[in-house]
Amino acid sequence: MSDMPELFKCPIVPVLTIDAAEQAIPLAETLQKAGFSALEVTFRTQHAAAAIAAMRKACPDMNIGAGTITGQKQFDEACGVGSDFLVSPGCDAALFDLFETATVPVFPGIATPSEALTALSHGYEVQKFFPASANGGTAMLKAMAAPLAEISFMPTGGIDRENMLDYLDLPNVVAVGGSWMIDKTALAKGDWEALGSFAEQQIRV
């Protein structure tokens, strides 16, 4: 694993999709207690912006980022609530223009060496590799290490307890993200104790 930015003190980042507004605060508090230092809240439901605002207030020591930023609307909402970092699944010219105006760290999504080079030309030395497993997983990251030596990656997509260390052991990986540590049944029930202990087990090997 390469030197981590302070943002990823814990190099495992839960990727969250919030289905109900009241989940936000207990979920962040539980995940902080379980040892995570950063969370990514995806803009895939209407609750994302409010959830980020609530989580930041409840857990000021955590880095609460916004994910699935694909255009102006999500960007404005994510920045408006003070997201600590921004993540996109991919990137195009319009998104790079928007990201240039961001005042927090941005991790643009890439899936190929050409996309990685484009993002590097915009100044991004740490990029999201997405969807990681569908694009060759650790083999792809190993193959990109020598020719793209300046770039580090945060892979997400298809990472789980069994393969997370294979990713984290790579020198060009700063952190991994994913949803595998979230017990969906416990989340739906609001069983925070069960959610917390499942999450802790999922990051211990």
| Interface contacts to ligand 3PG, rule CB under 6 A | 15, 67, 130, 156-159, 177-180
> Residue with CB nearest ligand 3PG?
178
Minimum distance, C-beta of residue 155 to ligand 3PG, in the bound complex (Å): 8
Residue 40 annotated in active site? yes
Taking the least distance from each CB to ligand 3PG, the nearer of 57 and 135 is 135
Closest approach of Cβ 14 to ligand 3PG, in Å? Answer: 9
Alpha helices in 11-127 (DSSP H): 24-33, 48-58, 72-80, 93-100, 113-121
3-class DSSP state for residue 123? coil
Question: Taking the complex as a whole, how short is the minimal distance between the CB of residue 178 and ligand 3PG, in angstroms?
Answer: 3
Candidates 9, 22, 33, 40; catalytic one: 40
What is the H or E stretch that residue 86 is in?
strand 86-87
The CA R_g of the chain, rounded to the nearest whole Å, is 16
Closest to ligand 3PG by CB, 135 vs 179, is 179
Alpha carbons 144 and 141: distance in angstroms, whole number: 5
Label residue 152 exposed, middle or buried (CB < 10 Å: 0-12, 13-18, 19+): buried
Q: How far is the CB of 180 from ligand 3PG (least distance, A)?
A: 5
- Residue linked to tokens 């069994």: 162
Q: Looking at 6, 125, 128, 142, which residue is catalytic? A: 128
Q: Output the six-digit token pair for 162.
A: 């069994």
CA distance 35 to 129: 24
**Which is nearer to ligand 3PG, 136 or 158 (by Cβ)?**
158
Instruction: Say whether 142 is catalytic.
Output: no
Nearer to ligand 3PG, 37 or 42 (CB): 42
Q: Which residues are catalytic?
A: 40, 128
